Each structure stands twice: as C-alpha cells, then as structure tokens.
C-alpha cells in the first residue's frame, strides 16, 4: 500500500520526462536481470493505520508488563517512574527526527543537550570526562576492554569479577574473540569479589580489571580496595555502576576508577523489553583522546557566541576509519536526552533522596523477606537497591505461583549462576511500595510453604513406598 509518499501520476510523468526515461522500471535496469526479484515480496499487503494499531495492541496485550504485574525484576533494568516531562520533551520533532549533529549551526539543541548529559554523568561518576553515550551497558563493558588494550600498549589480559553482569561478561567474551584478549574470571565469596583471588589474577600483562558495584548479586563492592591490584600493575580499573545509586554511593571516580560505565536505562528510559536505552562511559583526563563515540564540546562561533560541536572527531570512524578508537556511529542520543531531563527533574536533592529511598526500602524488603520461613539472604554484604535470596523450594515453581498472584517476584539466579540454582534476585524502585513488598513476602511465604508441603508429601510417599518394598 502506497504510504507516506506524495508523487501523483502527473508528478511521476513530469519527473520521468525530466530524467529522460519512460518508466521507473528503466531506472532499475542497472540491476542485472537475474538479480531483479521479479515478483512481489512474500509479505502481506499493507493495511490501514487503525488495523496496524489493533494488530500491535493485540500483541502488546499478550505481555505481562509492569502495569499488569508488580515488578520486582531488575538485573540491570528497573521499573522506575519516568516523569511526564521526559516523554513530552523527547517526543518533540526537533529532538526526535534529526540525525547526528554533523551541521552544528542547526544542531545546537542536540549538541547542548549532549554537553549537559556529559556534565551530569561526569558529576554522577566523579570522573572528569563523559562521552555522549554508547549503545547500552554490556557492550560498553566490551568497549572499555578495547580501549584498555590500546591504552596499555597492547596488553591482552582482562581480569573480570564474577559479580559483573553475566550479559556484560558474555559480551566481553564475544568481542574479545575479535580483537584478541584472554579473560580471567575472579569468583565471589559471600556475595563480594574475592579480594585475594583478584590480587593473584592481576599481572603485568593485565590491560584492565572489571568490577561492578553494586554487583549482580546486589552487593556493594569496595572498589577502591579491590582496585589496588589494578593500580599495582598499571592496569586500568573499570567500574560498572548503577547510575541510580550514585546519589548515595561513593562514586567510582573517588575510588580510583579510570573508566566508569554502565547501563543507563534507570535514568529516564522505559523498560522496552530491553532497549533502546543507552550506555554511559566516563573516563580520566589521560584517556580523553582514546574514548569511544561522540563527545560534544564547547566552542565559539564566528561572532564569538558560545556554541557546541562534536569535539575530538579525529577519534571517530568517519574521520579515522581503520584507526578509529571504536566503530560506533549511531548510538542512543535520544535516550541520553531522556536521562538528562530525568536528572534535571530529580535535581541535586531529589537524586540523593531517591538514592536514600531505594536503600531504605531495600533494607526493609531484605529484612522482611529474609524473615519468611524457607528464605535466607544469599549473602551478608551491604546492598543498595537489589538483593539476593536463597529459597528452600524450587525457584521456578515459586516464581510461577507468585506470577499467578500478579507478582513478578524477581530474577532467578540459576539462569546465569549454576552455583545459585536456589537464588532469587529482588529489585526495588520508588514504585515498589511497602504494601507491595509485604504482598511479595506473603506470596513467597505461601508459595514456599505449598512447595515444601508437596516435597514433604512426595518424600512421605517415597519413604512409605520404600518401606513397602523393604517389607
């Protein structure tokens, strides 16, 4: 169905005449005949706007989203409240429909927004330089490895804590198969990176040490102490952080991190089943000319007015081609804008208050859930907004029972950590009220009780059968 085009038959006739051809088909004759499709695509015919809407609404209705389930899922993406002004501003044509600001004179809005984003992320991480953003969290981790290899003169060993998000570790491995790096993983002890094992793993060939705080199990790492191993051997210290915790947790820049990065979704971005969001990427002064992707910088125009441009473009693929610091081109500008607006809306005080709210509700939830019969904390380390539990019943069936009560109780750790088949990761946001936390506790209690009763009666049956056989 012809859609979004304007050429009338009369227009077409005039245009073809101007080109000097009889038909548009003639223009396609440069495609050798055997390579012309010569048939319609095997796709349905186009449909009306109303029908498309109904079709997609019907698909959307088959998803248990956070409006239909109380969502305690986290694992890197969180159900925060996105203030109305974020949508109102990001939906504006002027932000939604331009492309990369290659013509700065007519892109000052987007460029200044990038500059403000960089300022905000630099403040959050306490590192002096922020890029305008990468795709998302895990690929940002892999990008830091590429940077570190270059920055350390070609060292190729990467030491990675097992507390780093499993998707980040897997993405790092995927990328490393390309640029060539060896990955050494350091395990966890009581929820935290094993400091002695980490120190032993780092050597003079190590390009970077990767930590995450709070780590995947929710535990707040002592990045500064752990990072000493990196400092001793001249490796870069890369800290993946949850931006929403940085109003209250010590920022990576104060812990000696050379690079701080992470998943930006909690800042002003919807869940969107995993994307689009953005990755933030901040670094020390020394790394300024090695950073990946766009960076906006301040300058003057011909009359001396303050203005903004894409700075340090000689790092980038469109200028440097095979010598570029990264291959990234289109990134996530609109998502970074959403974060900038959200952070301005929260403001200095609101951002800190939100961090405190998360820590206190999380402390309450952890204590409340750990008091449930059949649940204990998976580790004793301090937490900020997410925590891990151990269930004395199969996690899958417990989750299913909770889902039947309209609660997504959390993330089953067994998906990524075989050693924690009994583990459940529970995330808290400002949208998860005390009442919802209490309801989660009740749902888990009930589910575990039923499962244990089933298990007990199963084993009763088995033992009575055994007795029967023995007799």
Partner 1 sequence: MTLAETPMQRERAQTIFEKSKPGRRAAVLPPAGVPEPPLSELIPAKLLRDEPPRLPEVAEPEIVRHYNRLSRRNFDLDTGFYPLGSCTMKHNPRLNERVAALPGHARLHPAQEPRRAQGALELCWLLQESLAEICGLPHVSLQPSAGSHGELAGLLLTRAFHADRGEARTKVLAPDTSHGTNPASVTMAGYEIVKLATDERGGIEMDDLRAKVDDEVACLMLTNPNTLGLFDENIAEIAALIHDTGGTLYYDGANLNAVMGHSRPGDMGFDIVHVNLHKSFSQPHGGGGPGAGPIAVSERIEPYLPRPQVVRRADGNGSGSSFDLDFDRPKSIGRLRGFQGNFGVFVRSYAYILSLGADGLAEASETAVLNANYLKARLAQGRAGKYVPIAFDRHCMHEFVLSGKPMKRELGVATLDLAKRLLDFGFHPPTVYFPLLVEEALMVEPTETETKESLDAFAAAVEQILAEAESDPELAKQAPYTTPVRRLDEVKATRHPVLRQPL
Give the CA distances from residue 179 to residues 175, 230, 329, 377, in Å, rounded to whole numbers and listed in that order. 7, 21, 19, 40
Give the CA distances from residue 70 to residues 99, 372, 388, 421, in Å, rounded to whole numbers and listed in that order. 37, 19, 18, 23
Nearer to partner 1, 198 or 233 (CB): 198
Note the maximum CA span of the chain.
Answer: 101
Strand-pairing partners, residue 375, are 391
For residue 190, the minimal CB distance to partner 1 (Å) is 15
For residue 398, the minimal CB distance to partner 1 (Å) is 13
Nearer to partner 1, 138 or 377 (CB): 138
For residue 125, the minimal CB distance to partner 1 (Å) is 8
How is residue 18 written in tokens?
């101007």
Q: Residue 104: exposed, middle, or buried by beta-carbon count in 10 A (0-12, 13-18, 19+)? A: middle
Nearer to partner 1, 233 or 311 (CB): 311
Q: Please check whether residue 267 is in contact with residue 76, taking contact to mean a CB–CB distance below 8 angstroms.
A: no
Beta-strand runs (E) in 147-224: 157-161, 182-186, 188-189, 192-193, 206-213
What is the Cα–Cα distance from 278 to 262, expressed in whole angstroms? Answer: 9
For residue 135, give the H/E element and its range: none
Strand-pairing partners, residue 407, are 70
Nearer to partner 1, 233 or 278 (CB): 278
Nearer to partner 1, 150 or 374 (CB): 150
For residue 185, the minimal CB distance to partner 1 (Å) is 14
Nearer to partner 1, 126 or 439 (CB): 126
For residue 374, the minimal CB distance to partner 1 (Å) is 21
**Taking the CA atoms of the chain, what radius of gyration do you get in angstroms?**
27
For residue 470, the minimal CB distance to partner 1 (Å) is 38
């Amino acid at each position: 169905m012809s859609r979004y085009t304007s050429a009338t038959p009369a227009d077409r006739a005039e245009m073809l005449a101007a080109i000097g051809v009889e038909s548009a088909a003639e223009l396609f004759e440069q495609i050798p005949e055997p390579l012309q499709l010569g048939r319609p695509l095997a796709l349905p015919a186009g449909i009306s706007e109303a029908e498309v809407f109904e079709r997609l609404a019907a698909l959307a209705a088959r998803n248990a989203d956070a409006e239909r389930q109380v969502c305690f899922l986290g694992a890197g993406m969180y159900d925060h409240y996105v203030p109305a002004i974020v949508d109102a501003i990001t939906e504006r044509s002027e932000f939604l429909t331009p492309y990369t600001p290659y013509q700065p004179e007519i892109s000052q809005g987007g460029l200044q927004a990038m500059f403000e984003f960089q300022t905000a992320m630099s403040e959050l991480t306490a590192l002096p330089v922020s890029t305008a953003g990468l795709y998302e969290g895990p690929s940002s981790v892999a990008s830091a490895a590429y940077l570190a290899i270059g920055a350390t003169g070609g060292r190729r060993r990467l030491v990675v804590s097992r507390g780093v998000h499993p998707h980040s570790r897997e993405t790092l491995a995927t990328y490393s198969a390309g640029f060539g790096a060896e990955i050494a993983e350091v395990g966890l002890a009581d929820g935290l990176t094993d400091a002695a094992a980490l120190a032993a793993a780092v050597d003079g060939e190590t390009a970077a040490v990767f930590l995450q705080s709070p780590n995947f199990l929710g535990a707040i790492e002592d990045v500064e102490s752990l990072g000493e191993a990196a400092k001793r051997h001249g490796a870069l210290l890369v800290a993946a952080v949850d931006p929403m915790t940085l109003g209250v947790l010590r920022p990576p820049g104060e812990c000696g991190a050379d690079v701080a990065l992470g998943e930006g979704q909690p800042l002003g971005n919807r869940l969107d089943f995993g994307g689009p969001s953005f990755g933030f990427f901040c670094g020390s002064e020394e790394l300024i000319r090695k950073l990946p992707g766009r960076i906006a910088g301040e300058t003057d125009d011909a009359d001396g007015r303050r203005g903004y441009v894409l700075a340090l473009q000689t790092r980038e693929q469109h200028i440097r081609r095979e010598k570029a610091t990264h291959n990234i081109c289109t990134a996530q500008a609109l998502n970074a804008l959403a974060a900038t607006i959200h952070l301005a809306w929260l403001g200095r005080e609101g951002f800190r208050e939100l961090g405190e709210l998360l820590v206190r509700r999380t402390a309450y939830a952890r204590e409340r859930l750990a008091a449930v019969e059949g649940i204990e904390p998976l580790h004793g380390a301090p937490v900020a907004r997410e925590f891990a539990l151990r269930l004395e019943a199969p996690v899958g069936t417990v989750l299913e029972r909770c889902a039947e009560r309209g609660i997504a109780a959390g993330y089953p750790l067994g998906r990524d950590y075989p050693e924690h088949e009994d583990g459940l990761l529970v995330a808290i946001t400002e949208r998860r009220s005390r009442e919802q936390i209490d309801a989660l506790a009740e749902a888990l209690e009930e589910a575990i009780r039923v499962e244990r009763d089933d298990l007990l009666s199963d084993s009763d049956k088995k033992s009575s059968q055994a007795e029967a056989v023995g007799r």
